[in-house]
Amino acid sequence: MSDVGVSSLLAKLSRNFDSSRGVCDSRGCGTGRRPQTADGPNFKYEEVNTGNLHLTGKQPPATVAVGDTFRFVAEVIEFNTVQCVFRLAPVSTETR
């Protein structure tokens, strides 16, 4: 997806995201159904293992566990307007 495509997609999403309710409204999700979320759009990696995360930082872990904190940089592969889900490809994952 081009930078222009991502910019316009994010602009559309931000216009249609109701932060007071934490959901995309029917104008932003395409079908009139709200996604099952309380925090806004979802972000999803598919078929990605620890090696694909490109771990960086002072002491990158060998594994990823619940409670670990990271800063993600990713490329948007697709945006599902029905579910308000961004499908991502990892670029780098920095330990925090």
Lowest mean pLDDT among 9-13, 59-63, 90-94: 9-13
Instruction: Evaluate whether 76 touches 88 at the Cβ level (below 8 Å).
Output: yes
d(CA 74, CA 2): 14
Closest C-alpha to 80, from 29, 36, 23: 29
d(CA 68, CA 96): 8
- Considering the entire predicted model, what is its pTM? 0.55
**pLDDT tens, position by position, 37-71:** 456 788 999 998 888 999 998 888 888 889 989 99
**pLDDT tens, position by position, 14-32:** 555 444 444 454 444 544 5
Domain residue spans of the chain: 3-95
Segments in 1-96 forming alpha helices (H): 3-16, 26-29
